[in-house]
Amino acid sequence: MNVPLQIGEQIAAVMLWRILVCCHSDRLGTLMTFKRLIFAGALTAMFALGVAVAPASADSIQYTLKDNTGDVITFTLAQFPTLAATNADWFAAATLVTIDGISSMEDVTFYDNSFLGGLSIASTPFTDQIIDQSGPVLFSGATTNPKLLPETNVSLTCTAISPAPACSGNKYTAAFTLTAKDIKSTPEPSSLALMLAGLGLVGLMVGASRR
């Protein structure tokens, strides 16, 4: 269900009703009613189109991690991710992770300063670790409602949960460099073209109504 679109349709219906009421006593009668109906239809189409093509999702963060042996790990999360698990010191989000060209669903866990920051990747948090890398905290806000942050060339270091030795149980033990790129949500070019066409139609109708 597209709730914003339903609201837009209701507003457009009210606009149309007001125009029809206005036209009821218009001395020009049928001709003016027809012109106003065209104008109302153009407004309705433009309003509905504008709501429909507005970006429905927030920005995403695209992560790339590279180590000095040539391994590359990539994944993308919404800037305000849907959490698979959370704690006072960390949160996890599930996403498709690609490692050296091979993709699988994994949990990516982000840690605050009390857990040495950074992140880990595993099928289950704290077990079957692919990587566990400490470093700067990669999010702002609480672990229950985090906002992921863009980063450039952040140095991470292989670690492990105390009292285990550093890097124990991790598939990849080299230090990684992380880049997190903010991917903006934008309407498709075709949608923008339709919106501009709608605006042009309304302009023509306004010009015609003034003659």
Indicate whether 86 and 179 sit together in one domain: yes
Q: Are 32 and 24 in contact (CB under 8 A)?
A: no
pLDDT higher than threshold 80 for residue 180: yes
112's CB contacts (< 8 A; 6+ apart) are: 89, 90, 137, 143
- Please give the distance of CA 15 from its chain centroid, rounded to a whole number: 32
Q: Taking the model in full, what pTM does it have?
A: 0.64
Indicate whether 35 and 104 sit together in one domain: no
Indicate whether 44 and 142 sit together in one domain: no
- pLDDT-derived band at 187 (thresholds 50, 70, 90) equals low
Tell me which H or E stretch contains 160.
none
Q: Are 152 and 65 in contact (CB under 8 A)?
A: no
Indicate whether 25 and 89 sit together in one domain: no
Indicate whether 65 and 169 sit together in one domain: yes
pLDDT higher than threshold 60 for residue 14: no
Tell me which H or E stretch contains 67.
strand 60-67
Between 146 and 6, residue with greater pLDDT: 146
- pLDDT-derived band at 33 (thresholds 50, 70, 90) equals low
Number of domains in the chain: 2
Domain, as residue range, for 137: 60-183
Indicate whether 127 and 144 sit together in one domain: yes
34's CB contacts (< 8 A; 6+ apart) are: none
Q: How far apart are CA 202 and CA 52, in angstroms?
A: 18
Indicate whether 93 and 145 sit together in one domain: yes
Indicate whether 77 and 33 sit together in one domain: no
Between 58 and 96, residue with greater pLDDT: 96
121's CB contacts (< 8 A; 6+ apart) are: 73, 75, 97, 106, 107, 108, 109, 129, 130, 131
65-111, pLDDT tens digit by residue?
999 999 999 999 999 999 999 999 999 999 999 999 999 999 999 99
123's CB contacts (< 8 A; 6+ apart) are: 106, 107
Q: How far apart are CA 63 and CA 74, in angstroms?
A: 5
